Chains A and B, each alone.
Chain A
Amino acid sequence: MNEKKLFDQATVDTNRRSVLKGACAGMLTTPLLSQMLAMTTTRAALAAEPQSDFKALVCLFLFGGNDSHNMLAPMEPSEFADYQTVRTNIALPEVELQPNLIFGSSNPASPQFGRRFAFHPSLPKVTDLYRSGSLAVVGNVGTLVQPLTIAQYESNQYPKPVGLFSHSSHQRNWQTAMPQSRDALSGWAGRMAEILSDTANSNPALSINYSIDGENLMLTGDQLVPFVLNRGSGARLMDGYGGNSVLDRILTRATDSITSATYANLLQQSYAQTKDRAIDGAIEYNLRVNEIELATQFPSTGLGQEFERAAKTIAAQAALGQSRQLFFIGDGNWDNHQNLLTTQQRNLEEVDDALKAFHDAVIELGCQGQVTTFLASDFARTLTSNGRGSDHAWGGNMLVMGPGAVNGGEIYGEYPITLATGGPLDIGRGRLLPTVSTDQYYGELASWFGVSGSSVEMEQILPNVRNFWDGTNQPIGFMA
C-alpha cells in the first residue's frame, strides 16, 4: 500500500526570509532537504546544488481573443488616421492614448524604427516597464504552419492552421504549436519540460510545469502532466487525510487503497492518478511553499493572486529542487463582440496591475534575468467594428516581460505599416495575416530556457520550427 508521507509542519524550519533572499541568487543552502525528500542519491545531489542557473517562464493566456490593436495603437499621424478610419467607434481617442506614448524601436533595421505607438490607457505601468527596458512587444504574432502570403492564403493550396478563427481551435493551436492538427495531445511547453526535467527537476512529487488554470494543454507533454495549483490556497491536502478520528482513519486508508490500485478502466485509472498526484504534490508543495511571504503587494484580483502564486512557487524553487519552472495563468472574458471598450479597459487594468506586481516580486526575489512572462491569446480581433465590438481575427501583438531577461523598450516582429482596410496583410474586415509565427515566438523563449536552437529537441518541441527558423541566431531578438 502506498503510504503517504505526512510531515509534521512544526518540525520544519520556517525561517522563510532567508529562503527568499536566496531564491534565485544561489545563496540558499539546503540542510533540511535530504531529511525530507525520499530521493535517489543522484537526485538528492542535484537538489543540493545551488540553483544559480534557475529560469522560469510564465504564460499569461488571454482567453477569448485580446483586441491587441487597441492594446497597442499606432501614433504616427498617418497611421493613427488609418487606425481611426478602420476602427470607427472602437478606436481609442488620441488624447487618452497620449500619456502612454512609446517609441517603437531604436534599431534602424527595425520596421518600427522611427515610429511612435501608444499602449492602451489602462496600461500606465506596462508603459513604464517598456520605457525602463523590462518589457518588449512582439508585433503581429499568430499561428502558422509555414510562412504565408495573402495570395497563398487565398489560394487554399498551402497548409493553414485548422479551424481558423474559431476559439477552441486557435486556443489549441497556440498551445500545441501543431496548428495543422486537431489531434495533437501535447503542448509545446509540456514537451519542453519533458526534455528538461531530467536535469531540471529533482522533485519526485511535483512537475516543473504548474498550471494555475486547471488542466492545461500547453503544459502537458507526451507523458508529463502539469501540477495544478489553486491561486489562493496553492495545493491543499485533502481534509481529514491523516486525521485521527475513526472516519478520517477510514478515509485515509481508503484513499490510499484507491490511489495505489490499478484499474482496467483507464478513466478510473486517470482519476486515481490525479488524486494520487494531488495528495503527494500537496504534501510536498505545502512543505516548501506555504509559509513564504512576499513583501510585494499583489492586487486582490484573480489575476493578481495567480501571479502571486507563481511568484511564491518561484521563491521556493531551490527548496523544491527545480532549476526550471513553467507557469500557465489563464484569464477569461476577452471575447468582446460587444462592450469592447469598457470590458477591455477593465481587463487591461487588471493585467497592468498584476504584471507590475509580478515584475516587482521578481526583483524582490533577486531573480532578474531569470523570469520571463509572455502573453498569448486566441487571436487578435477584426480591426473593423461590428457596431459594439470586434470579431475574431488572427495576427496580434504580444507582450514579453522580464527584467534583465528581455531586451525591452522595443517592438519586435512587425507592427503593420498600416491598419487601413485593404492593407498588405488584410484578409478581410481587418483580419491580419500573421507575419511572426508562434514557432518563432516560442523558439526564442525555448532557446533562452536552455534548448539549443539548432537541436533536434527544438524540433520535437516545435515541429514546424524549421519552416521559420534554421536555429541560428535568434528568431526574433527580444530576449537578452
Chain B
Amino acid sequence: MIQARLREILFLLFISIVYIDSHAEAPGGTLAATNASFDQIMAEARAARFLQQSTFGYTKTQAEQLASRIIEVGQRAAFEQWIDGQFLLTPTLHLSTMREMLVDDGVDLDDGENHVSIYNADDYRYHAWWDIALNSPDQLTQRIAWALAQIFVVNDFDSRYRSSDPDAFGVLRYFGASYYYDTLVQGSSGSYPALLEAVSKHPVMGEFLSHVNNRKASGSRFPDENFAREIMQLFSIGIHELAPNGELLLDDSGGLIETYSNATIRTLARVFTGWHYAGESPGRNNPTWSQPMVVDPSRHDEDEKDLTDLRNGILIPAATAAEQELTLVVNMLTGHPNTAPFISRLLIQRFTMSSPPAAYVEEVADVFRATNGNFQAVVKTLLLSEHNLDNYEYQPIVSTRSGRTIGMQIFNGGTERTRLIEPVIRLTQFLKLFNASSDYTGGRIALPNLEDDIGQSPYRSPTVFNFYSPFYPGIPPLSDYVPIDVVQDTLVVPEFELVDTTTIIDSADFYREWILDALDDGNFFRLQYGGGNRVEREMNVLLDFQPWQNILDRQRMRALLDQLNIHLCGGNFTQDFLRDVYRIVRSEAESPSDYVPGTILAILESPACLVR
C-alpha cells in the first residue's frame, strides 16, 4: 500500500518525450523521425541507462547490441547475461598495462635511469588507468575496482611514488600505487573480508594510514591509532549503529548509538602493531610496495585484547600472532551487523543512486550477508534490483487521431532516486560515446592527472575521506528537502561536494575548449611531454562526430536531440529544455556543420544530463 502511494508520489515523475514516428509533430513545431518501433526505442533507452550505470562508457553500437538482447529475452535477463559475461573476462591489470605502455614508449625498465625525470614515468599510472577505463573489455570489473578505490581510499601523494629507485626486491618505486590498485581489481571478484585483509596488509595502505612500523607501547609511546580508527569508521562499520537495512538505531532517549569508544580504538591499535615493509628490517622506512607487509613479533603487542564492547566483538587471547589477530579482526568486522548495510550503501551510491531507500539497502545487504561479502554478487544485485530497474519507466504516446504510437514518454524517480555523475565517469562516458581514439602508441588513450581540470582524478583523493563524503547533504535548497523514502531519512548528494561556483566553471571550460579544438583540428585532447632532458612524446585524442552528423542528415534535428537525450543524458531532458535547445541551435546555426557541435555544447552542461 505504502509502496504504491510512494510510487505515485516519487517514481512517476514525467521527464521527457522521445519521438519515434516519422510524421510526429515535435514540440518545436517540426519533425523528428526514426523508424524504430516503440519496443526498440525503449530497449535502446533501457540499455543506454544500464550501461551508463555499469561501465565507463559505451558506443552507440554497444547500446544497440544490448537493446537487441533486451528485445529477445527481456531487460532483466539481458542485463544478467551481460553481467555474467563481464565477470568471465580476465581482469585488466594496471601495473602490467603501465609497464607495457612504458616499454612501448621505448623505456628500458632495467636500465637504471631516472625514468621519472626523463619520461614522466610516474604519470603512466594515470595513463594506464584512463586507457583501461576507456578501452578494456572488463568494464564492470573496472567499475567495481573504482568503487572500491573510493571506499578503501589511498592516494599517491607520497614522494616515493615519483621515485625511480628500486626497492629491496628490485621493484621501481613509482610502480607502487598501481600494485595497490591491482589489489582492488583482483579483490573485486572476491569477498569483502579477503579484500579488507589484503588492504590492511598492503604496504601502500600501511604507508597511507601509518600502521607500517607501528610498535607496541613502551613507556609513554603508544601505538598509532590511525588505521584502527579508519578501518572501523570508513572501511567497515561507521560510527553509528545501524539496523540490517541501514537505518540508524536509536537508544531509549532517541539518541544515536556510537559503534565504538575511544577505548576500542586504543585496543584495536594494539592489533595493528609489528608490521613492517617486507624485505626491510623492522622500523626501516624504505617501502617495498610489491609485497604484503610482514610482522616482527617482538614489535607486536601480544597482550590480551578485549574488543567485546563492539557488537560481534571478540576477545583476542594473549600471545596470538599478529597475522592471526588481523584475520580475527577482519572476520569480526565483516560479521558486525553494520558492515553489510554500510558497505552496500556505499556501493549503491557508486553505481545507481545517492540516497537509496532502506528496502534497497536491505536487499543488497542481504546478499552481502549471504555471500560473505562477495562483491560480484552484491553489485549484480544492486544493478538488477527493481529499486534500480523500475526507477525509470517508459510509456508509449498514442496519437488520438491515428491510433498510432508516435512517441515514448520517460519517467524517473526524481530527487530521491538519482545522483550527480562523478567527473571521472562523466568524462570517460563522453569520450566513449563520441568514439574517442588516439594516435598514441597502440592506440592507447593516455590521459594524465586531470584533477585541476575536472576536479577528480584516479589516485588523487585528497584524504582517506575520499573525493566527497557519502553523507554530504548539499547546500540549500537541496539540504532543506524532506525526503519521503530514503535510508536514514536524509537526502545525500556526495558528488555535489565537488560542485561550487569555481569548479562548475572549470569543468564547463574544459569541455568547451576540447570540443572547439576537436572541431578546429580534430584533436579533442593533446598531451605533450618534453623539454629539458625529457624525452618528447605527444598524444592526440580524436573524437568522431560523424555518426551524429549522419543522424542529423538523415533524420534531422529532432532525432539528433532524441538520440543525445538517451545516450548523453539518460533520457532526462525536460520538454521545455528540449524545445529551448531546438530553437537556440536552429536560430543561431549558420552552416550545417554547426548543428552537431552546437547541440552537444548546448546540452553537455545541462543539469538534466549530469543528474541521472
Contacts and interface: CB of A to CB of B under 8 A. Distances in A.
Partners in one complex: yes
Interface of A: 63-64, 85-86, 88-89, 162-169, 182-183, 185, 211, 214-215, 220-225, 227-230, 233, 235-240, 246-247, 249-251, 253-255, 257-258, 261, 263-275, 277-278, 281-282, 332, 335, 337-338, 382, 384-389, 391-392, 421, 428-429, 431
A246 B588 contact: yes
Contacts of B220: 85-86, 88, 384-385, 421
B422 interface: no
A246 B589 CA distance: 6
B500 A257 contact: no
Nearest to B513: A239
Contacts of A429: 222, 266
Interface string B583-597: 011001111001001
Given A236-B505, A268-B607, A429-B266, A391 B465 contact: no
B120 interface: no
A228 B502 CA distance: 6
Interface string B567-586: 00000101011001100110
Nearest to A391: B225
A15 to B, nearest CB: 28
A56 B224 CA distance: 40
Given A267-B415, A335-B226, A389-B224, 4 more contacts: A250-B589, A250-B598, A258-B607, A384-B221
A251 B499 contact: no
Contact of B225 (A236, A386, A421): A386
B505 A389 contact: no
A182 to B, nearest CB: 7
A178 B474 CA distance: 18
Interface in B473-505: 473-481, 490-491, 493, 496-505
B478 A282 contact: no
A214 B500 contact: yes
Interface string B216-238: 00011111111001000100000
Contact of A250 (B501, B577, B601): B601
Contacts of B463: 63-64, 167, 332, 335
Contact of A236 (B493, B502, B591, B602): B502
Contact of A388 (B210, B478, B499, B512): B210
A388 B213 contact: yes
A227 B597 CA distance: 32
B214 A267 contact: no
A239 B415 CA distance: 30
Contact of B605 (A169, A275, A337, A386): A275
A271 B499 contact: yes
Nearest to A254: B602
Contacts of A282: 501, 505
Contacts of A265: 13, 414-415, 418, 607, 611
B478 A269 contact: yes
A389 B224 CA distance: 8
- Leading 10 A-B pairs by shortest Cβ distance: A268-B607, A254-B602, A228-B500, A278-B501, A386-B224, A271-B607, A337-B210, A270-B478, A257-B580, A337-B226
28 contacts: A64-B463, A165-B229, A183-B490, A185-B473, A185-B479, A215-B496, A224-B476, A228-B500, A229-B501, A235-B502, A236-B505, A236-B509, A238-B509, A247-B519, A251-B601, A261-B576, A266-B477, A267-B418, A267-B419, A268-B608, A271-B420, A274-B475, A384-B220, A384-B222, A386-B224, A387-B215, A387-B221, A431-B262
B17 to A, nearest CB: 15
A214 to B, nearest CB: 5
B581 A254 contact: yes
Given A163-B239, A228-B500, A253 B414 contact: no
Interface residues of B, number: 86
Contacts of B224: 337-338, 386-389, 391
B476 A225 contact: yes
B462 interface: yes
A220 B478 CA distance: 12
A270 B475 contact: yes
A274 B262 contact: no
A223 B209 CA distance: 37
Nearest to B593: A246
B134 interface: no
A387 B478 contact: no
Nearest to B223: A386
B603 interface: yes
Contacts of B513: 239
B281 to A, nearest CB: 15
Given A165-B262, A271-B420, A261 B501 contact: no
A264 B266 CA distance: 48
A430 B181 CA distance: 37
Contacts of A386: 210, 214, 221-225
Contact of B598 (A233, A246, A261): A246
A228 B354 CA distance: 24
B383 interface: no
B610 interface: yes
Given A282-B505, A384-B220, A332 B500 contact: no
Contacts of B354: 267
B35 interface: no
Given A227-B501, A247-B598, A269 B588 contact: no
Contacts of B415: 264-267
A332 B462 CA distance: 9
Most chain A CB within 10 A, of B210, B266, B516, is at B210
A229 B496 contact: no
Contacts of B574: 261, 263
B508 interface: yes
Contacts of A86: 220
Nearest to B413: A265
Contacts of B602: 250-251, 253-254
Nearest to A260: B580
Contact of B611 (A166, A225, A268, A335): A268
Contacts of A168: 233, 465, 469
A249 B588 contact: yes
Nearest to A237: B505
B265 interface: yes
A212 B499 CA distance: 13
A277 B229 contact: no
A239 B420 CA distance: 23
B606 interface: yes
Contacts of A267: 354, 415, 418-420, 474, 478, 493, 496, 607, 611
Nearest to B493: A267
Contact of A255 (B229, B480, B605): B605
Contacts of B607: 258, 263, 265, 267-269, 271-272
A88 B601 CA distance: 60
Contact of A258 (B233, B462, B506, B577): B577
A387 B497 CA distance: 35
B233 A166 contact: yes
A353 to B, nearest CB: 22
Contacts of B465: 167-168
B225 A257 contact: no
A261 B500 CA distance: 19
Nearest to A212: B502
Nearest to B215: A387
A316 B15 CA distance: 44
B6 interface: no
B222 A382 contact: yes
A253 B588 contact: yes
A258 B584 contact: no
Contacts of A337: 209-210, 224-226
A266 B420 CA distance: 11
A319 B326 CA distance: 62
B398 interface: no
B301 to A, nearest CB: 13
A248 B239 CA distance: 49
B606 A258 contact: yes
